[in-house]
Amino acid sequence: MFWVTGKRIIKTGLLNFWRNGFVSLSSVWVMTTTLLVIAGLLFMIALLGVTLDQIRDRVDINVYFLPEALDEDIEALRRSIESLPEVAHVDFITRDEALENFRERHANDEITLQALDELGDNPLGAVINIRAKETSQYEGIANFLESDQVLGSDGSPIIDDVNYQQNKVAIDRLTNIIDSTEAVGFAISLVFVVMSVLITFNTIRLAIYVSREEISVMRLVGASNYYVRSPFVVTGILYGLISGILTLVLLYPISYWLGPKSENFFTGLNLFTYYTENFGQIFFIILGSGVLLGAVSSYMAVHRYLKV
């Protein structure tokens, strides 16, 4: 009996979808719009995430050593910086490399290069470039570097300059922007999701409102709540499946069209590549949201009319 009932419920659900063609079409249309909003949200989160990551990557502290600092002292300091828990990455640029970089940068500047050659000796010190895991941690690292412990083995200073104080304002502001962008992004996402869910819920409620008389007739001929409700839930799931597939198909040309634009406008994330590379994940999110929305809205909408 269980299988027979299940078969009947699914058959009725499919038939209702087909016979209420116009209502089904409108529901699928609204739900597709909703799922596109959710997909847009996924894209926005991805773009925002990549952009913020890249901005974070660009924040760093440079430690400029005095030219006369000894290699062993610099090496010792480098190791102790690397051992700090807040530090993500340390780049070490030797005096020779620093000179090389300088020459490259000024390759077209004959006068500067001549002046450098006049000096004979390398006037540049070594540089350590530090990246922290979080932008908020730079302050701590800078404090460590500016403390008195950082001295050469003979007690003389080895650091010429730490460029944190110059960058401090910019870093602080960036930290704030990143924090608030994440918070605002999350809030906007939430509002969008709630709105789309409400719109879909109301559409399905209207679709079922049309059937309220039928629901009471079904109750009066002795059908159980379960038997009345389940076909509507099946129809709702079908709305979700069809809308989900429609959305996934529509996203293909949309992301193809937006891909190059997003690559130029933001920070090199091509939406089309993102879509095709993460298709599995997006497939489950979109289809899952559709099915869940359809099933839950139908379940709740029928509930009202079952009280006969």
14 binds another protein (CB under 8 A): no
Q: d(Cα 272, Cα 276) in Å, to the nearest integer?
A: 6
> Between 95 and 229, whose beta carbon lies closer to another protein?
229
Q: Is the dihedral of CA 287, 290, 292, 294 positive or negative?
A: negative
Q: Which of 25, 170, 217, 249 binds another protein (CB under 8 A)?
A: 217
Nearest to 283 by CA among 16, 37, 39: 39
Based on the shown chain and the rule CB under 8 A, indicate whether residue 221 belongs to the binding site for another protein: yes
Among 141, 159, 218, 254, binds another protein (CB under 8 A): 218
SS3 (DSSP) at 127: strand
15 contacts another protein (rule: CB under 8 A)? yes
Asked if 220 interacts with another protein (CB under 8 A), we say yes
The answer to the question of residue 225 lying near another protein (CB under 8 A) is yes
Is residue 102 involved in binding another protein (CB under 8 A)? no
Enumerate the β-bridge partners of residue 161: 64
* The one among 104, 213, 264, 280 contacting another protein by CB under 8 A: 213
* Cα atoms in the Cβ-side hemisphere of radius 13 Å centred on 79: 5
Quick one: 93 or 218, whose CB is closer to another protein? 218
User: Rounded CA gap, 150 and 148, in Å?
Assistant: 5
Q: How is residue 114 written in tokens?
A: 């001549």
Residue 25 touching another protein (CB under 8 A): no
Q: Of residues 170, 187, 191, 308, which one binds another protein by CB under 8 A?
A: 308
Burial class (CB in 10 A: 0-12, 13-18, 19+), 290: buried
CB of 250 to another protein, least distance (A): 29
Beta carbons of 300 and 201 less than 8 angstroms apart? yes
Q: How far apart are CA 265 and CA 280, in angstroms?
A: 26
Segment contacting another protein (CB under 8 A): 119-127, 142-150, 151-159, 213-221?
A: 213-221
Binding-site string for another protein from residue 226 to residue 255, where x marks contact by CB under 8 A and - marks none: -x----------------------------
Interface region with another protein, contact rule CB under 8 A, candidates 35-43, 87-95, 163-171, 222-230 = 222-230
Gap between the Cα atoms of 183 and 169, Å rounded:
21
**Tokens 């610099």 found at:** 74
CB of 21 to another protein, least distance (A): 10
Percentages helix, strand, coil for the chain (3-state, rounded to 5) are: 75, 10, 15
Contact set with another protein (CB under 8 A): 1, 4-5, 8, 15-16, 19-20, 213-214, 217-225, 227, 308
